[in-house]
Amino acid sequence: GAGVSQSPSNKVTEKGKDVELRCDPISGHTALYWYRQSLGQGLEFLIYFQGNSAPDKSGLPSDRFSAERTGGSVSTLTIQRTQQEDSAVYLCASSLHGTGAGANVLTFGAGSRLTVL
Amino acid sequence: AQSVTQLDSQVPVFEEAPVELRCNYSSSVSVYLFWYVQYPNQGLQLLLKYLSGSTLVKGINGFEAEFNKSQTSFHLRKPSVHISDTAEYFCAGGSNYKLTFGKGTLLTVNP
């Protein structure tokens, strides 16, 4: 696609429920990233996928968070048993290159705003 | 620890005035430096980047930034701002694929 697409754009859920957030990166981009943007906290790295390599999951805040990327394209971020502190905007980004300087030239999606009641 | 510090959380300016948004980084996070802009209800867009070479980099919409290694700074500047520049600006740095972002500076341009 022309840009990075994320869905849903807004999600309101009750504490304890599971949620899935979807990201469709730019076609041909080899690397995909998830970041979390909390109010007044900037962006927090969550996870990084590059080709067929093992993902870097070092930013996932707890084992309730997981992500997968199928076929080197679409990615899903899953949050189980959501808590109120999970409320944030979840941003997906992709880059043409997965390593070197080009790995940092990210194109972001508009984000999925998650509100946990 | 890697860190990127944006020294001002909010910067109000009048239209056509110059502006500087300040960013300092820890030496461990330097190598590649970026400024991203986020307009209301939109995703982040790349404004400009420093990868190597000339320390003065120019970006979109008339913005520029200067990489200063001795002061570990990467301040963003524009000589004359427009109302449409109202947005949140994020400084970021990284050495490979993992970017460290500052907390953002909200630039508000008033008529």
Pairing of strands B105-110, B10-14: parallel
- Per the DSSP assignment, residues forming a β-bridge with B23 are B6
Indicate if the pLDDT at residue B29 is higher than 60. Answer: no
- Look at B41 and A40 and tell me if their CB atoms are within 8 Å: no
Report the range of poorest mean pLDDT among A4-13, B78-87, B94-103.
B94-103
Taking any CB pair shorter than 8 Å as contact, residues of chain A touching chain B are: 4, 31, 33, 35, 40-45, 48, 50, 56, 59, 91, 93, 95, 98-101, 103-111
Give the Cα separation of B24 and B14 in Å (integer).
Answer: 25
User: How many other C-beta atoms are found inside a 10 Å radius of the C-beta of residue A80?
Assistant: 14
CA B7 – CA B27 distance, rounded (Å): 17
At residue B30, what is the residue type? Answer: S
Amino acid B65: pLDDT = 97
Q: CB A45 to CB B36 under 8 A? A: no
What are B's interface residues with A at a Cβ cutoff of 8 A?
Answer: 9, 32, 34, 36, 41-46, 49, 51-52, 90, 92, 94, 96-104
CA A26 to chain B, closest CA, distance in angstroms equals 14
Q: What does the pLDDT average to over A12-29?
A: 95
- Over residues B56-68, mean pLDDT: 94
**For residue A47, what is the nearest residue in chain B, using CA coordinates?**
B98
H helices of A1-117, in order, are: none
Which DSSP letter does residue B18 get?
-
Nearest to A108 among B32, B43, B104 (CB): B43
Q: What is the mean pLDDT of residues A62-90?
A: 94
Tell me which chain B residue has its CA closest to the CA of residue A110: B43
Is residue B91 a contact partner of residue B6, using CB atoms and an 8 Å limit?
A: yes
